[in-house]
C-alpha cells in the first residue's frame, strides 16, 4: 500500500481537477474509479495516510451524488432473484422485469416498501409484510470495514461523446473518518436495483446502502473538503 500525506493527496486531487475533462480508462460504471486510481498513480483503491490511517478511495458521478452509495450488500435470507420474481415489473422500453425501489425507515414509499429497524434486524417490508432482512451486527462490521475507519470520496461530472465514450471532470473530494453506525442507519436510503439481461441472467450487484450528501457531516466525526 502506498503511503501519502494528506497534503500530497489534496494536491494530487486539485491537480486532477484542474485538468478538466479526461477520458475514461474503462467502459461502463467502473470507469470513474479506474480513471481516478490511474491519475493518482494508485494500484489499489485505498490510501495510507500517516495522520489518518488506512482510507478507502471512492468515486461517484456528481449528477447522481445527492445520494452517496457507501457500500452494497445482498440480503441475508433470500436471493435477490427471488425478490425480483415476486415483486418485479416489466420495464417499459423492452419488457424485461426489474425491481427499482428506494426505501427509507421513515415511511413507506409509493409502492408500499419500507425499512424497519428493530433490535438485531434491519428488515424490508411491503405493505407491512416481511420480505427479507439484514443482521445488524454483520451490517455494522461491513460498515466499519468499508467506511467506518475512513474514506476519501471524489465526485466528478460525466459526459459522453457522439460515440458513447465517457469522460470525467473531478470537481469535489472529501475526507470522511470516524463513522457512526447508528447515525448511518437513521439517515439510510436503501436502494433495490435488480433486473435481468435479455438472455435471462439476473443483473444483481447487491442492493445499495446510500445516504444524502448533506448527511455526511452528521455520520462522520471528521468531514473535510479537499477540493
pTM, whole model, 2 decimals? 0.83
**pLDDT score for 204:** 72
Can you say whether the dihedral through the CA atoms of 151, 153, 31, 10 is positive or negative?
Answer: negative
**pLDDT score for 44:** 64
pLDDT at 92 over 70: yes
pLDDT at 128 over 70: yes
- Arithmetic mean of pLDDT, 15-36: 89
Domain 6-225: give its CATH code.
3.30.70.3570
**pLDDT score for 82:** 83
Strand segments, DSSP code E, in the chain are 22-23, 46-49, 53-61, 67-73, 89-90, 97-103, 113-118, 121-126, 129-135, 151-160, 166-179, 189-196, 202-204, 207-212, 220-225
The SS3 call for residue 102 is: strand
pLDDT in tens, 147-181: 887 889 999 999 888 888 899 999 999 999 999 99
pLDDT at 1 over 60: no
Q: Where are the domains of the chain?
A: 6-225
**pLDDT score for 199:** 78
* Average pLDDT over all residues of the chain: 86
Amino acid at each position: 500500500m502506498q503511503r501519502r500525506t494528506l497534503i500530497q493527496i489534496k494536491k494530487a486531487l486539485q491537480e486532477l481537477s484542474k485538468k478538466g475533462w479526461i477520458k475514461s480508462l474503462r467502459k461502463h460504471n467502473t470507469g470513474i474509479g479506474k480513471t481516478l486510481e490511474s491519475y493518482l498513480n494508485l494500484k489499489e483503491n485505498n490510501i495510507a495516510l500517516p495522520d489518518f490511517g488506512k482510507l478507502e478511495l471512492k468515486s461517484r458521478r456528481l449528477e447522481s451524488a445527492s445520494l452517496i452509495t457507501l457500500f452494497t450488500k445482498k440480503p441475508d435470507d433470500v436471493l435477490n432473484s427471488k425478490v425480483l420474481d415476486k415483486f418485479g415489473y416489466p420495464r417499459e422500453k423492452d419488457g424485461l422485469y426489474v425491481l427499482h425501489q428506494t426505501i427509507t425507515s421513515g415511511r413507506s414509499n409509493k409502492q408500499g416498501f419500507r425499512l424497519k429497524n428493530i433490535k438485531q434486524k434491519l428488515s424490508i417490508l411491503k405493505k407491512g409484510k416481511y420480505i427479507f432482512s439484514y443482521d445488524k451486527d454483520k451490517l455494522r462490521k461491513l460498515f466499519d470495514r468499508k467506511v467506518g475507519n475512513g474514506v476519501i470520496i471524489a465526485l466528478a461530472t460525466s459526459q459522453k461523446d457522439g460515440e458513447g465514450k465517457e469522460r470525467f471532470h473531478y470537481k469535489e473530494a472529501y475526507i470522511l473518518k470516524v463513522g457512526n453506525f447508528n447515525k448511518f442507519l437513521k439517515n439510510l436510503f436503501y436502494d433495490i436495483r435488480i433486473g435481468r439481461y435479455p438472455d435471462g441472467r439476473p443483473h444483481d450487484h447487491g442492493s445499495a446502502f446510500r445516504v444524502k450528501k448533506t448527511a455526511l457531516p452528521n455520520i462522520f466525526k471528521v468531514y473535510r473538503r479537499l477540493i
